[in-house]
Amino acid sequence: MKIAVIGTGYVGLVTGAVFSDWGHTVVCCDIVKEKIDLLNKGIMPIYEEGLKELVDRNVKEKRLIFTTDVPSSIKEGEIVFIAVGTPSNQSGSADLSAVWAVAKTIGENLNNEKIIVTKSTVPVGTNERVYEIVKENAPKDAKFSCVSNPEFLREGTSIYDANNTDRVVLGSNNKEALEKVASLYAHLNAPIVKCDFRSAELIKYASNAFLATKISFINEIARICHSAMADVKVVSEGMGLDKRVGRAFLNAGLGYGGSCFPKDVEALYRTSSDHEYDFRLLRGVMDVNERQKYFYMEQILKHYRGNLSGKTFACLGLAFKNNTGDTRKSVAIEIIKMLRGEGAKIRVYDPAAMENAKKILGNDVIYYAKSSKDALENSDALCILTEWKEFSEVDPALIASLIKDKVVFDGRNLLDPETVRGAGLAYFGIGRR
């Protein structure tokens, strides 16, 4: 099948690469020439394990092409995927300007019957408007249909997720279009939810909001553990063994971040308001998440009696989560800014997010280390801010030999408190004993 994917951001690039690996001919297009030039040189604009190998293989097999020629890509494709960004605007709702622009371009370039699939995360009612915009700009006799197909990819494991999905969600008022898009995923043997536009759109937001709720819930439990001298890791384990609860997303820490959860939770809350409903639970989820970083900072300030001036912190982690270089809405970045605001000096290290962090934090004041050990050297204390596996494997004895004040602030609960204390270090986690 000939597929056009408009947008080569995280979702578009991974989607296009995976579809080509499934044997389809895919053209990934974008209006940002610099991005396409990089891709044509084999340079990935994002960090994602296995992505470069996947792209290189399918480019070599001539199943995957990158171009800035959006009109030609639309004309040649049987199915056209919209995979552009939908960031939050100042009101908290999704900015759909890129989606509307693509829908207009598709309409202007319809030359035969096509299926237009929205892969971007969009609020309720978006696909209906996409259909209207395409129709307004298309030739009078043009035949097309629209399908909502929200993505459920996790950064860091997106290629695995695409090939081992829990479910495929498809929404449309056209049964023939639903079946054709469903055929793309048939080999996965995963459940396919076929429904209307609005239900499909809401499934995506509801799923992310529920996962964010689990994170905020366990962070509240961690606060109770902190005061009651219990251990949130043990509590999480005990809760997760209940099949009705499950262990996933019950890791207490600094709160959720990234390009999805914050904007999707906020967009769903805005949707509820637009429909005259006050989603109070979601308000609480956002409030808990916002407060969590201050709880972490309170522990640091309390330990240093409110004065961080002149202190140097080794900060391990810049990305919003492990296995990605994405620093969008990264709590680690926010913590570093707060430490700097208190007069602290910073030495940072992250396996994948250094360059993206420099764009936010700049090159002044902060020392960008070459390794975890390099960050620890000449530091007074350690802050663990992202849950990279390699940070959990740092030897506490090494930490104790390098940092002057012998204190660890483990914002991701990666280290074992007893082992750390056994090395002569003070340990502060999130709800740990």
Which residue type does 225 have? Answer: C
SS3 (DSSP) at 383: strand
What pLDDT is stored for residue 229 in this prediction? 96
Q: What pLDDT does 298 receive?
A: 97
Final residue of a domain: which of 168, 195, 222? 195
Closest CA to 287 of 217, 234, 346: 217
244 in a structural domain? no
Tell me, yes or no, whether 235 lies in a domain. Answer: no
Q: How many domains does the chain have?
A: 2
| Active-site residue list | 260
Are 420 and 316 part of one and the same domain? yes
Q: Are residues 387 and 301 in the same domain?
A: yes
Considering the domain boundaries, does residue 206 fall inside one?
no
Place of tokens 């030739």: 139
**Domain shared by 19 and 132, yes or no:** yes
Write out the chain's pLDDT in tens, 433 residues: 999 999 999 999 999 999 999 999 999 999 999 999 999 999 999 999 999 999 999 999 999 999 999 999 999 999 999 999 998 888 888 899 999 999 999 999 999 999 999 999 999 999 999 999 999 999 998 999 999 999 999 999 999 999 999 999 999 999 999 999 999 999 999 999 999 999 999 999 999 999 999 999 999 999 999 999 999 999 999 999 999 999 999 999 999 999 899 999 999 999 999 999 999 999 999 999 999 999 999 999 999 999 999 999 999 999 999 999 999 999 999 999 999 999 999 999 999 999 999 999 998 789 999 999 999 999 999 999 999 999 999 999 999 999 999 999 999 999 999 999 999 999 999 999 9
| Cβ within 8 Å of residue 12, ≥6 positions away | 5, 6, 28, 30, 81, 83, 84, 119
Write out the two tokens for 323: 């296995």
Is residue 152, in this structure, part of any structural domain at all? yes
Q: Are residues 268 and 164 in the same domain?
A: no
Cα gap 292→175, rounded to integer Å: 46
**Same-domain pairing of 66 and 151:** yes
Pair (277, 166) in one structural domain:
no
pLDDT of residue 368: 97
pLDDT of residue 88: 86
- Domain range enclosing 16: 2-195
At which of 195, 218, 239 does a domain end?
195
Which pLDDT value is given to residue 27? 98
Q: How far apart are CA 388 and CA 415, in angstroms?
A: 12
Q: Which residues contact 341 (CB under 8 A, 6 or more apart)?
A: none
Q: Are residues 58 and 139 in the same domain?
A: yes
Where residue 381 sits, what CATH number does that domain have? Answer: 3.40.50.720
> 24 and 169, same structural domain?
yes
In which element (H, E) is residue 15 found?
A: helix 10-21
Domain shared by 295 and 408, yes or no:
yes
405 occurs within a structural domain: yes
Report pLDDT for 370: 97
Quick one: 180 and 267 in the same domain? no
Burial 13-49 (b: 16+ CB within 10 A, else e): bbbbbbbbbbebbbbbbbbeeebbeebeeeebbbbbe
**195, 212, 230 — which closes off a domain?**
195
Give the C-alpha separation, 152 to 207, whole Å.
9
